[in-house]
């Protein structure tokens, strides 16, 4: 389990709204109001990752809640497989917490365990997946399950144009 506090300067940000992202967490069913799917190296020069996220609220209004999944980029071929953390899957749950002045603050938890079963068609720009993940939050294990069907955000794939804050 890993947890991070992320400070985000108070500047405008956007999400793509193409597709559908739903989850059940802490006995509550949620449908994302913002989501995105893109290919990124996060500006690090490292190997690129496919990025999938869904959220409600906004970082800029300090009421953000969302999930982020990343898997290694293999190539632009159609992909259908299940990923676990040991396969390179990264799974995160993040939410706004009271910020210090001049910042927006989110608390981000990395999954203790996670599974992502994905059908990815880079040529068509589509991704469908189901997921489940377990997170330790304040010493308590909590589980999330969900699904998404997303359209690729090509603009977010450009260097310096990431639309997801966590």
Dump pLDDT digits (tens) for 106-127: 999 999 999 999 999 999 999 9
- Integer angstrom CA distances of residue 64 from 67, 73, 92, 94, 106: 10, 27, 13, 8, 8
Q: Does residue 36 belong to any structural domain of this protein?
A: yes
Whole-number pLDDT of residue 166: 36
Residue 67 within any structural domain of the chain:
yes
Residue 162 included in any domain: no
| Dist CA 60 CA 104 (whole Å) | 6
Where in the sequence is the domain holding 143, given as residue range(s)? 2-155
Band of pLDDT at residue 28, cut at 50, 70 and 90: confident
With pLDDT > 70 as the criterion, what percentage of the chain qualifies?
80
- C-alpha dist (Å) from residue 45 to 27, 40, 66, 77: 39, 10, 26, 22
Domain presence at residue 165: no
Quote the pLDDT of residue 67. 96
Question: Closest Cα partner for 35 from 50, 51, 49, 11?
Answer: 51
Residue 63 pLDDT greater than 50, yes or no = yes
Residue 139 falls inside a structural domain? yes
Q: What is the total count of domains within the chain? A: 1
């Amino acid at each position: 389990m890993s947890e991070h506090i992320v400070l985000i300067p108070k500047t405008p940000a956007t999400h793509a709204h193409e597709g559908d992202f739903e989850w059940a967490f802490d006995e509550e069913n949620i449908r994302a109001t913002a989501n995105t799917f893109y290919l990124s190296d996060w500006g690090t020069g490292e190997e690129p990752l496919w990025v999938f996220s869904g959220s409600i609220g906004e970082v800029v209004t300090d009421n953000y809640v969302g999930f982020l999944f990343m898997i290694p980029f293999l190539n632009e071929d159609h992909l259908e497989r299940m990923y676990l953390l040991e396969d390179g899957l990264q799974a995160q749950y993040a939410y706004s917490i009271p910020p210090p002045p001049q910042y927006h603050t989110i608390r981000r938890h990395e999954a203790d365990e996670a599974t992502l079963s994905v059908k990815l068609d880079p040529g068509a720009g589509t991704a469908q997946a189901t997921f489940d993940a377990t997170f330790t939050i304040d010493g308590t294990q909590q589980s999330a399950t969900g699904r998404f069907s997303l359209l690729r955000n090509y603009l977010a794939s450009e260097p310096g144009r990431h639309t997801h804050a966590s």
